Structure 1
Amino acid sequence: MFLGWIDYGVLVLLLCLSTGIGLYHGCIHSKQLTTNEFLIGNGRIGILPAAMSLLASVTSAATLLGAPVEIYTYGTMYLYYSEYYTIVFGLLGTIH
């Protein structure tokens, strides 16, 4: 199995797109002046973005690599974690 020119083209396109988004938000669209504005959205962030951010930080590379092994070893019981995550992060998002 080898990578063709289309694979490398898609890789370069995605890297350029990610770099462009990062440069735009870092240099041109940067309106955060204090650490309070950067870290907690100046206290105006909603429940759903806060819960999604918490979920993204919990779902790490170790989870992405370990989940297939857990499912292979123990079966689909691992899918109950998604229900637990939804309930717990939903509850955490409503607590102020």
Structure 2
Amino acid sequence: MRYPPRGNRQDRACAPVQFVGVPDCDELCVVDGDLVDDQETVACYRTGDRLTGLRTMNRRAEIMKYRTLIARGATFDAAVAFAEQRRATRAARTTA
């Protein structure tokens, strides 16, 4: 069973939110999911061309992977490419 179960917006109050990095940024960009309608999101914090922080909701397995990118000084474009790769991998698993 998924935690929390999909349903109305009240379920989101129980959703695990995790953050890594620095929240002070030039731009916040949702790279996977939707902050309004989706219970599973990944949002990147960008300062200049660098990934400086990341917030996830219901994506506990992803936070450490992005933490490594931040520690290595990855560019924001690298983080977006990584998010696209993760999304494609999840899509392939659900269609298989």
Same fold (TM over 0.5): no
Structure ranking higher in helix proportion: 1
Structure number, greater radius of gyration: 1
Q: Please, what TM-score do these two structures have when normalized by structure 2? A: 0.31
Structure ranking higher in strand proportion: 2
- Structure with larger RCO (C-alpha < 8 A, sep 6+): 1
